[in-house]
Structure 1
């Protein structure tokens, strides 16, 4: 995903959060967010979405799950 970053927050020991950051106003396809969530799951980490607004402030959202794709009958 263009203009997106991801990093791991390390506390004591191994990091337990994978943070996926995007800038407000830039398109962020759900496929990119889904890939970041899947990566966090594979690494057994909690997913965090960080949105940087136009004033440079960051708002954090935890991602607990994504809905599966609907199947065609």
Structure 2
């Protein structure tokens, strides 16, 4: 298959949902705590750190801001 084709796992999930008569294309709501670490203030802080030191590592940014590498990666 081409690079744009959905994965086998995605196709299986679609099939399973179709069997349940769920034809919605909307993402289902998820349980758990919503992300609070990615906001305008944090985004600005990450930008400033990188502008001040373009060689900053994820670990350094994590330590300075107290946020996860996942949050940093999403910025």
TM-score (norm 1): 0.31
Greater percentage in helix:
2
